A and B are shown apart, each in its own frame.
Chain A
Amino acid sequence: MSNPIIEIKNLEKSFGELRILNKISINVLEGENFIVFGQSGTGKSVLLKCIVGLLEPDAGEINIYGKSVLNLSNQKLNEVRKSMGFLFQGAALYDSMSVRENLQFPLIRNYNFTKEELNQKTISTLSMVGLENAIDKMPSELSGGMRKRIGLARSIITEPKIMLYDEPTTGLDPITSKEISVLILELQKKLNMTAIVVTHDLLCAEIIADRAIVIDKGDIVQEGTIKELTSSDNKLLRNFFSHDIIKSCLFLVSC
């Protein structure tokens, strides 16, 4: 963990009159799991979408591997995107494709693999997320947790160096949520990825985080380790984490 892989400087984004991100600056180091905390509607997902080029910020700079990704041509932006994976909140699996087709889709479109190599890659990636048996299922046949795992498998099948997770545990029961968090950590170690994880799940953050920030109304309230954030005197942080701590404690007691 040394070089900043993702550098964000004074990022601003508004929708009409509503200011979502207000001069956000962060550095994410190589191999680091960086958590972005915040209540719903504070701009966490917007931050991720700006990084990956789905949204255009109003001002600021985003550098990935030292290169500015804003104002890139589509072709050059796609080259950067090939080194990134993105797990969407609802997994965003392609409804009309089976699990196999979902996983193979980015490989077929962007790389030249043989059919055998594609199948091999698909099976090995599915085994990483423990769902080899779901290979020929359709997304509608999968549970919420399975969809997240398949979404994760589809994101890592291209072996990205950077992973962006948008609320990876939202809508899941505590046990599945813990399993997904552990899986994220394992994959990060196995594939040596740098990750930004947007969440408001403290348990998930405790498992995977190296460093975290808390965003409120578009501003960074505090930056530090999870321990530093949870023991902060800041009133907003105390309010934010007290609720999650109770939930985590109840879950740990039940385990």
Chain B
Amino acid sequence: MKIPKIKYLRNSSFQDKLQFFFLTISGLTIFNIEFLKQLFTFPVEIEQIKKHMSELGVKTFSIVSIMGFILGFILALQSYPVLERFGATDFLPATVSISIIRELAPILTALIFAGRVSSGIGAEISSMRVSEQIDAMEVSAINPFKYLVVSRVFATSLILPILTIYVIMISLIGAFIAVIMTDNMSLIYFLNAVIASIAFGDFIPAILKTFVFGYIVGIVGSYKGYTADGGTEGVGRASTTAVVLASLLILIVDMVMVKITVWLWPSIG
């Protein structure tokens, strides 16, 4: 795998930045192709995947719990006065749950996950790169790409959908608490209204796209870490640029995937 080297300049011109952009795109493409090639080779790193999944779950559990609760709570509080103006407060559970399930929970969980995990992967792999640990694996006839990258990307792709489902549930709890603070709606009514308003087209595409977001978080963090150079400065750069690039790609891919979803399931448009 030959990934083009990117030379970081402190005072870069527009031309340098453009070159940097295209080198990153081509590097990331080569990295993705290598990932797909290695994905279907033995051995399957089951132990590493399990280890990373549990680590990533523990790392992000508390932050996504808080974020999910506040998201549901605020959304319900903000929506209530607007719906009240039209005498449509009965539609609050449906409005809130559809917003959370279709878009807010997947995208916000993915962005928080990117901030927490992409930078962590970038920092970890880049420090292994600059301290020659990756070279040490290679000279020991061990495939570092398979061991470090494939297992992590697999783990991030699998854990993000699980976290998103969890965030959806926590957000709905937050929304219900906000509702009972302003209205005397029962839990049964709230739940029935939520279940009645959700269709296949709301839930499945939203969860499916989180696999892609998880993949982006893993692959971008790994790419930035794997191609890092320049000592400790390189480690810092890998970690920060991983977050920025992963977040940006998540937003772009989300835009495309929403368009595809609407095209595939016109009923939810």
Write the chain B residue with the least CB distance to A109: B142
Evaluate contact between B140 and A109: CB separation under 8 angstroms.
yes
C-beta contact mask, B85-128 vs A, less than 8 Å → 1, else 0? 00000000000000000000000000000000000000000011
B197 near A: Cβ within 8 Å? no
B140 and A90 contacting across the interface, CB-CB below 8 Å: no
A109 to B136, CA, bound (A): 13
Pairs across A and B, CB under 8 Å, 13 listed: A52-B139, A53-B139, A54-B139, A82-B141, A90-B132, A92-B132, A93-B133, A94-B133, A94-B136, A95-B128, A95-B133, A105-B142, A158-B140
Contact yes or no, B141 A88, CB < 8 A: no
A74-B143, A92-B135, A95-B127 are known; give 4 further A-B pairs, CB within 8 A: A54-B138, A84-B139, A94-B133, A94-B136
Given contacts A95-B127, A95-B128, contact A105 B135 (CB under 8 A): no
| B134 (CB) vs chain A CBs: closest residue | A92
Q: State how many residues of chain A have any CB contact under 8 Å with chain B.
A: 23
Q: Chain A contacts of B138 at CB under 8 A?
A: 53-54, 81
B136 and A88 contacting across the interface, CB-CB below 8 Å: yes
Known A-B contacts A90-B131, A95-B127, A95-B128; A78 and B136 likewise in contact (beta carbons under 8 Å): no
Residues of B within 8 A of A86 (CB): 136, 139
**Chain A contacts to B: CB under 8 angstroms:** 49, 52-54, 74, 78-79, 81-82, 84, 86, 88-90, 92-95, 105-106, 109-110, 158
Which of B127, B133, B141 contacts A78 (CB under 8 A)? B141
Interface-central residue, B132, B135, B142, B143, by most chain A CB under 10 Å: B132
Given the complex, which residues of A lie within 8 Å of B140, measured CB to CB?
81, 105-106, 109-110, 158
Smallest CB gap from B1: residue in A: A74
A86 (CB) vs chain B CBs: closest residue: B139
A-chain residues with CB within 8 Å of residue B143 when the two chains form the complex: 74
Q: Tell me which of B128, B135, B141 contacts A54 (CB under 8 A).
A: B135
Chain B residues whose CB sits within 8 angstroms of the CB of A88 once the complex forms: 132, 135-136
Report how far A49 CA is from B138 CA in the complex, Å: 11
Cα distance, A84 to B128, chains bound together (Å): 21
Rounded to whole angstroms, the CA-CA distance of A52 and B141 in the bound complex is 10
Query: What is the minimal beta-carbon distance from B227 to any residue of chain A, in angstroms?
Result: 15
| In the bound complex, CA of A81 to CA of B128 (Å) | 20
Bound Cα distance from A54 to B141, whole angstroms:
11
Alpha-carbon separation in the docked complex, A54 to B138 (Å): 8
Q: Which residues of B contact A78 (CB under 8 A)?
A: 141
Contact of B139 (CB < 8 Å), options: A81, A90, A105: A81
CA gap between A82 and B138 in the complex, in Å = 10
Please give me the residue from chain A that is nearest to B2 by CB atom: A56
Q: How far is the CA of A52 from the CA of B139 in the complex (A)?
A: 7
Q: Chain B, 66-78, contact with A by CB distance < 8 Å: what is the 0/1 string? A: 0000000000000
Chain B: minimal CB distance from A122 (Å): 15
A86 to B136, CA, bound (A): 8
CB nearest to B127 among chain A residues: A95
